[in-house]
C-alpha cells in the first residue's frame, strides 16, 4: 500500500512548470519504472481527475489537484491559452468571467476570475465556494451529475435571489434544458440584479470538468447582444476544452 502511494506521488511530481506535459514513456524513463506499471497508475489517476490526457496523448496535471493548490489553471500552457481568450471576452463585453469546478462535496469552487474594467463589481473571489443550484456555472456541472440532483431536498434549495429554483422537480426540468441547450442561464437567482451565462469545459474524455461563465447586470446581459454573448461564452469554453484534448465532432 505504501509503495503504491509512493509511486503515485512520484508520478505526480514528474510534472513541472518546465515539463507540464509528459508521455507514458517519459514518466517511465524518469522514474525507472516499467511502462505497464506507469500506464496502470496513470489511467487510475486520469479516472480520478488528477491527470488529464491531451490530444497529443500526453498527460497533464488534472482539475482535482486544484484542491491541493490551484495548480491546473496556472500550468503554463493551459493558463496562457485560457486567459487571453477570457480577457478578450471582458474587453468585448462589460462582464465578469469565472471558471470553476466541483469540489469533493459537490459544491462549486471558483478557480479563475477576470473582470471588465467597466462592469459592476461581483463579490466573488478565487477559492470561494457556492451551492450549485442557483447560478449558471453551478448548473452546468450539476447537469452532468444527476446523482447530485437526486441528493438534494427542498430544504437544501435555499432562496438566494428573487428567482431561485426551490423545488427538486423544477431543478430537474432546468437540468434537462441545460443539457439540451449546451449552456446555462441564471437570472436573478443568486445575486440580486445579476444575470449569468455559462458553458461547459470538457476534458479529453468528454466529461464536464469545469464551467465558464460571464455575469453582469440583468439589463445589460438581456439586451440586444444576449445571443451574441451566449455564442461567445460557448466558443471560449469550447476552445479551452480543445486545449484539454477534447475533440468536437464535425
The pTM score is 0.70
Least confident of 45-49, 99-103, 135-139, 180-184: 99-103
Domain spanning 72-243, CATH class: alpha beta
Task: Taking residues 198-205, report their average pLDDT.
Answer: 87
Q: Is the pLDDT of residue 78 over 90?
A: no
The mean of the pLDDT values for the chain is 86
Q: Is the pLDDT of residue 34 over 60?
A: yes
Domain coordinates in residue numbering, the chain = 2-61, 72-243
Task: Taking residues 62-80, report their average pLDDT.
Answer: 58
CATH, range 2-61: 1.10.10.10
Q: pLDDT category, 175, cuts 50, 70, 90? A: very high
Supply the pLDDT for residue 50.
86
**2-61 and 72-243 share one fold:** no
Measured distance CA(72)–CA(83) in Å, rounded: 13
Q: pLDDT category, 42, cuts 50, 70, 90? A: very high
Supply the pLDDT for residue 71.
44
Amino acid at each position: 500500500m505504501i509503495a503504491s502511494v509512493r509511486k503515485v506521488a512520484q508520478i505526480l511530481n514528474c510534472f513541472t512548470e518546465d515539463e507540464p506535459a509528459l508521455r507514458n514513456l517519459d514518466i517511465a524513463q524518469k522514474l525507472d519504472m516499467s511502462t505497464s506499471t506507469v500506464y496502470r497508475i496513470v489511467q487510475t489517476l486520469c479516472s480520478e481527475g488528477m491527470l488529464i490526457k491531451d490530444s497529443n496523448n500526453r498527460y497533464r496535471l488534472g482539475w482535482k489537484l486544484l484542491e491541493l493548490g490551484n495548480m491546473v489553471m496556472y500550468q503554463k500552457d493551459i493558463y496562457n491559452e485560457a486567459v487571453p481568450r477570457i480577457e478578450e471576452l471582458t474587453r468585448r463585453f462589460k462582464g465578469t468571467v469565472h471558471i470553476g469546478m466541483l469540489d469533493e462535496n459537490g459544491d462549486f469552487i471558483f478557480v479563475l476570475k477576470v473582470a471588465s474594467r467597466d462592469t459592476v463589481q461581483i463579490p466573488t473571489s478565487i477559492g470561494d465556494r457556492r451551492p450549485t443550484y442557483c447560478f449558471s456555472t453551478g448548473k452546468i456541472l450539476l447537469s452532468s451529475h444527476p446523482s447530485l440532483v437526486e441528493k438534494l431536498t427542498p430544504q437544501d434549495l435555499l432562496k438566494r435571489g428573487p428567482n431561485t429554483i426551490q423545488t427538486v422537480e423544477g431543478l430537474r426540468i432546468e437540468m434537462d434544458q441545460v443539457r439540451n441547450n449546451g449552456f446555462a442561464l441564471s437570472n436573478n437567482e443568486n445575486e440580486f440584479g445579476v444575470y449569468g451565462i455559462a458553458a461547459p469545459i470538457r476534458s479529453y474524455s468528454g466529461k464536464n470538468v469545469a464551467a465558464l461563465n460571464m455575469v453582469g447586470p440583468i439589463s445589460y446581459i438581456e439586451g440586444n447582444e444576449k445571443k451574441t454573448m451566449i455564442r461567445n461564452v460557448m466558443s471560449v469554453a469550447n476552445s479551452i476544452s480543445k486545449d484539454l484534448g477534447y475533440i468536437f465532432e464535425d
